[in-house]
Amino acid sequence: MLPRDAQDSLDTIHRLQDRSIDEYVDHGFARRYVLPSALMVFVAFASFDLPGPWNTFAIALGLGLAAMVCVSWQRQARVHRRPTGLEQLYYLGAGIVFLVACVAFQVAAAVAAVKLGMPAHHTVAAAATALMVVATAYPARKALRAVARHAVAEDADR
């Protein structure tokens, strides 16, 4: 085994490991999952403006959509990976950022409703939150790719 051949094999290993990570990340952030997720967020938060029993119906619709997206995502994934410590931190951080943004949009819309008389302020906040989900999908995908690649490299060094 020549050192040059060994280096070529190592380069191939790293390239293919990155390919698996890319498939896992790209599948998770595919448009066919991001857009229904944004719609689900919009329906669930906008339901607060609806009178009963329509608000319950809208929440059930949002949860049903979420379940369908999850099942489809799981079934169609070509690469399945259990998140490691670093990736779990990423998901936790993303969840916290999402919740903070939700609350911030709801508070801003409530203030606008009181001061400017804006109608259906939950719907406006829901639309802003859904747009944020779509707008942050690309940077979130880049961040997850970097985190997952780092986790794989760390795992290999162990």
Partner 1 sequence: MDPDFDEFLHVPARLSILALLAPADRVDFGFLRDTIGTSDSALSKHLSALVSAGYVAMSKDRDRGVRRTHVTLTPQGRRAFRRHAAALERIVATSRLADG
Name the one residue in this structure whose structure tokens are 């979130």.
140
Six token digits for residue 157:
């060094």
Say if residues 58 and 43 touch (Cβ distance below 8 Å): yes
Which residues contact residue 83 at a Cβ distance below 8 angstroms, ignoring those fewer than 6 apart? 90, 91
Task: Single out the residue of 59, 61, 66, 79 in contact with partner 1 (rule: CB under 8 A).
Answer: 79
Compute the distance between CA of residue 23 and CA of residue 80 in angstroms, rounded to an integer.
9
- Rounded Cα gap, residues 110 and 104, in angstroms: 10
- Are 109 and 77 in contact by the 8 Å Cβ rule? The answer is no
Q: Mapping DSSP to helix (H, G, I), strand (E, B) and coil, where does residue 143 land?
A: helix
Among 53, 82, 116, 139, binds partner 1 (CB under 8 A): 82
Q: Which of 61, 65, 81, 108 binds partner 1 (CB under 8 A)?
A: 81
CB of 54 to partner 1, least distance (A): 33
- Considering only 1, 52, 85, 115, the residue that binds partner 1 (CB under 8 A) is 1
Residue 80 sits in the site that holds partner 1 (CB under 8 A): yes
88 binds partner 1 (CB under 8 A): no
User: Shortest Cβ distance from residue 10 to partner 1 (Å)?
Assistant: 5
Residues that bind partner 1 (CB under 8 A): 1, 3, 6-7, 9-10, 12-13, 16-17, 19-21, 23-24, 75, 77-82, 148, 152, 155-156
